Amino acid sequence: HKLNSNDPLWPCGLVGGERRRIIDQSRLRYWGGRHEAVLCMLSPAATAVAAVRATAGSPAAVRGMHARILKEGLAHHPPNPAALVSAYAKSHLLPDALHLFDETPRRDIYIYSSLLTAVSHSASPELALPILRRMLSADALHPDHFVISSVASVFARLRSRRLGRQLHAHFVASPYNGDDVVKSSLVDMYCKCGYPDDGRKVFDSMSAKNSVVWTALVSGYASNGHSEEALQLFRSMPGRNLFAWTALISGLVKTGESVGAVELFVEMRRDGVRIDDAFVLSIVIGSSADLAAFVLGRQLHGSAMRLGFLSSMIVGNALIDMYSKCSDILSAREVFEGITFRDVISWTTMVVGEAQHGRAEEALALYDRMVLAGAKPNEVTFVGLIYACSHAGLVQKGRQLFESMKNEYGITPGLQHYTCYLDLLSRSGHLLEAEELMTTMPYEPDEATWGALLSACTKYKDAEMCIRISNKLLELRPKDSSTYILLSNVYAVNGKWDSVAKVRKCMIGLEIRKEPGYSWIEAGREFRLFHAGEVPLDIREEIMVFLEEMVLEMRKRGYVPDTSSVMHDLEESEKEHHLFLHSERLAVAFGLIKSPPGSVIRVVKNLRVCVDCHTVMKLISEITHRKIVVRDSSRFHHFEGGKCSCSEFW
């Protein structure tokens, strides 16, 4: 009976030369019309290899077997070194694997292949480069097809097209240049380096293309913004499976094409593709979060329930994020409490969601639960916590968290942490302390940092500091148009007309245009996008009449338009008309007209809500007895009964 590579009688998954060495020392017997391979008379080295491979994945077992092999004097007998290196790597003991590799007196291509494979899957793929140089120079070994595939995976993770092209050239000149497995690795490498067209050339040269390489190329085109090419390739792919659909959908989400991703998911469901993996569902739920598509998100929640994926942690995490971003923080919390097993992402997503909705006490209480549960907070967790303190004026708690991040968890604060901490100090009126921190922190303050301090100076009417910070900010030549408008208004309020002219000149010279504001809303079955100053003709009359009625009611309650956020070179009546047609007001008016009585109005805006619109939303919520939730570029505002959840810390 001739044993082949798929025969289950092969001991412990031995491969290649190891199998050949064992079969040469084996006797085969045929019993009673049935064949049965009996491997006997195995050499001690071959037995050791089988034992080592059986221990892979268990650090204690691998070390114990290594000690036994050393005791029996077989440590350097081929193929034991390669088997031990592989077993150490699979047990997440890469330093041990590297140490054993260094101690091996005669290193062959097998031990190099085992080590490079291990490194390619490790957290430090760059370690492969000195190993590869050592193989070529010190040991004068030529890479075989296994080594080339492993090195291609390394260069893919390093995103190095330059090294990848060198490897490709070596492969073409090697005896293995027809190997489709290596070509598949090269396709994946080029795609992950951002050059799917180079991957396509290798793909076209392959004689046999399996679903793995098709999927890699589809993912490569989609992930690098070539959606048309990805779709065309996907349509021509034979036997599209769930993994191919997932690759295409996730690639579109990665490049911001969430609408296309959702449409593909719907098409996939219509095609009857069975979803037996939760990953694709979590991706599409993430798309609905990015789109702030609340109705779609709830439908996907229902799909997850029907498919039996509610117990999946990645689906649960995606649902928490979706409900948070779609302004339903209570549903997000309900999903969170229903998750059986939570990781740091689950806790952090919920903490950040609570913080963005202005629920500082809930965020901080959740953090205490997280620590008691044994989950270690990460950098993002602390960004959310300090942000929560910033938007609730909890200065002392924010200081404590900032210090504990460094002292208790060894997390070095990044620029985002410092920005949140500075925002906390400046919002709470500690302007001089905030300015001092900016000059002493280990990062160069960026436009957002200076802008946060300038906004606080404006709020607390510190004219001297306003001018000082404005001058520093202007020196940065910022790129954000809103920063220039803030600067212009600060200078204008303080009578610095020469500086106003300088700001305008900078804007013209840098060709900076104010980003147009827009808001969108789901009302019933309708989804509408509103641009500032533009009222759709089909509902123009209804919206204008409604807003005029609201203004009359608001004036009875003492409303006076705050035009401080509008450019100062306009007449007062023009400024008020400009405010009247802000996109969030148009969206709210549409929602109140079209939605059922008592339902929540949910609006998403691309920019921050201005001071006047914030006041208007509070008054409209009081007049109409409706809850209005506005998600702007910074946070969520829950308007109800004439109040906002931000408590004016926004």
Per residue in 407-456, pLDDT (tens digit) is 999 999 998 999 899 989 988 888 888 888 888 999 888 877 888 888 78
Position 52 scores a pLDDT of 64
Place of tokens 């691998």: 62
DSSP one-letter string for 195-242: -HHHHHHHHHT-SS--HHHHHHHHHHHHHTT-HHHHHHHHHH-SS--H
DSSP one-letter string for 452-500: HHHHHHHHTT-HHHHHHHHHHHHHT----HHHHHHHHHHHHHTT-HHHH
Position 85 scores a pLDDT of 81
Question: In 227-262, which positions are buried (b, 16+ CB within 10 angstroms) versus exposed (e)?
Answer: bebbbebbeebeebeebbbbbbbbbbbebebbebbb
Quick one: three-class SS letters along 104-141? CCCCCHHHHHHHHHHHHCCCCHHHHHHHHHHHHCCCCC
Structure tokens at 323: 């409900």
Structure tokens at 292: 């702030």
Position 59 scores a pLDDT of 79
What gap in Å lies between CA 519 and CA 632, rounded to an integer?
A: 9
Give the type of residue at 103: E
Quote the pTM value: 0.79
What gap in Å lies between CA 349 and CA 336, rounded to an integer?
A: 9
* pLDDT tens, position by position, 124-156: 899 999 999 999 988 899 999 999 999 999 999
Whether 353 and 329 have beta carbons less than 8 Å apart is answered as: yes
525-529 LR contacts (CB < 8 Å, sep 24+)? 526/594, 527/293, 528/587, 528/590
What gap in Å lies between CA 494 and CA 465, rounded to an integer?
A: 11
Position 57 scores a pLDDT of 64
What gap in Å lies between CA 294 and CA 526, rounded to an integer?
A: 12
Query: For residue 50, how many other CB atoms are within 10 A of its CB?
Result: 18
User: Residue 294 burial by CB count (10 A; 0-12/13-18/19+): exposed, middle or buried?
Assistant: buried
- What separation, in Å, do the N-terminal and C-terminal C-alpha atoms of the chain show? 79
What gap in Å lies between CA 363 and CA 420, rounded to an integer?
A: 15
Q: Please state, rounded to an integer, the average pLDDT across all residues of the chain.
A: 84
DSSP one-letter string for 356-377: HTT-HHHHHHHHHHHHHTTPPP
Structure tokens at 213: 């390489």
Position 568 scores a pLDDT of 53
Position 189 scores a pLDDT of 96
Position 367 scores a pLDDT of 96
| Ranges of residues in the chain whose predicted pLDDT is under 70 | 1-57, 74-78, 80, 477, 479-480, 482, 510-514, 564-572, 649-650
In the three-class reduction of DSSP (H, G, I as helix; E, B as strand; rest coil), residue 407 is classed as: helix
